[in-house]
Amino acid sequence: MTRVACIGEAMIELSMTGSTAGVGVAGDTLNTAIYLKRLAPDLHVDYVTALGDDPFSDQIAAFIASEDLGTHRIERLTGGSPGLYAITTDDAGERTFTYWRSAAAARQLFANEDFSALDGYDLVYLSGISLAILPPSVRRGLLDHIISTGQQLAFDSNYRPRLWESADAARAIMGAYWDAAHIALPSIDDEMDLFQETTQQVQTRWRKATCLGALKQGPEGPMPIGNQITQSYPAADTVVDTTAAGDSFNGGFLAAHLTGKDPAHALMSGHMMARQVVSQRGAIIPRDP
């Protein structure tokens, strides 16, 4: 059985409708892990993070377990607590985020630079957000560990400038992760922002890549990475909330790829999962909408 470790930060999510908030659990790599497991239930998928010992951390851990994800790699830190964020959306479904995460327990993940918890996995998935909340030495040590073990690396830059000490630091470490990635799942807006490139420059750079993956381009559909594939992608009938569009694409793509489907199928699987997610509110849609 293929074993997957998804690394990142699970947070309490407040989804705002006017002055009313729906309370849930989400986080970019957690969103991907959930959709990956839903679409490929025979895969062994664990979520790797750190939580506190408070009631909200208990709620997050229970939620992760309810999605059939492994929780035995979740560190529980005495006195710690999770991060929190609120989402507001405009009439076009575009999101605005407000975060309270500076003291989140997930920032202490791998604090002793012991990465042995990742041993035994076939694939490690993480994002630029996963890296941004970690100290620089842990970011580098994590990459060195993955390379030394020969594990497959799937990566999504998911660039959030406010989480980084500088744009130069983000470019340097994420460039190193891109160089090592076996599966690349960048978004064109993030790549333009991070590397200060035009749309065409980003597309040209990724057409030269030798890894497998997809350059996510929103409603236009993905550009294949590592393959020459031509197919059309249906637009969403209704866009209510674009939260987790990229995360759900990643889950759909990885589910198809890791269960032996061809690249064209993986691209379509990712797109159709994202298409479904943006038609509803919140990062995690019901299992049987």
Q: What are the catalytic residues?
A: 247
Radius of gyration in angstroms for the set of CA atoms belonging to the chain, rounded to a whole number: 18
Q: What is the DSSP letter of 16?
A: E
CA distances from 45 to 39, 88, 251, 284 (A): 12, 30, 11, 17
Amino acid (one-letter) located at 18: G
Q: What is the pLDDT of residues 103-118, one digit of tens each?
A: 899 999 999 999 999 9
Token pair in block for residue 60 = 């997050």
CA torsion angle 221 227 213 174 (round to 10): -110
Report the pLDDT value the prediction gives residue 99, as an integer from 0 to 100: 86
Report the pLDDT value the prediction gives residue 89, as an integer from 0 to 100: 73
Identify the three-state secondary structure at position 58.
Answer: helix
Mutual angle of helices 188-195 and 199-207, in 10-degree steps: 100
Catalogue all structural domains in the chain, each as residue range(s) with its CATH number: 3-277 (3.40.1190.20)
Q: Which residues of the chain have pLDDT under 70?
A: 93-95, 289
Report the pLDDT value the prediction gives residue 20, as an integer from 0 to 100: 81
Strand duo 212-215 + 183-184: pairing: parallel
Report the pLDDT value the prediction gives residue 240, as an integer from 0 to 100: 86
Q: Is the dihedral angle over the CA atoms 107, 109, 111, 115 positive or is it negative?
A: negative
Residues forming a β-bridge with 22: 15
CB 223 within 8 A of CB 263: no
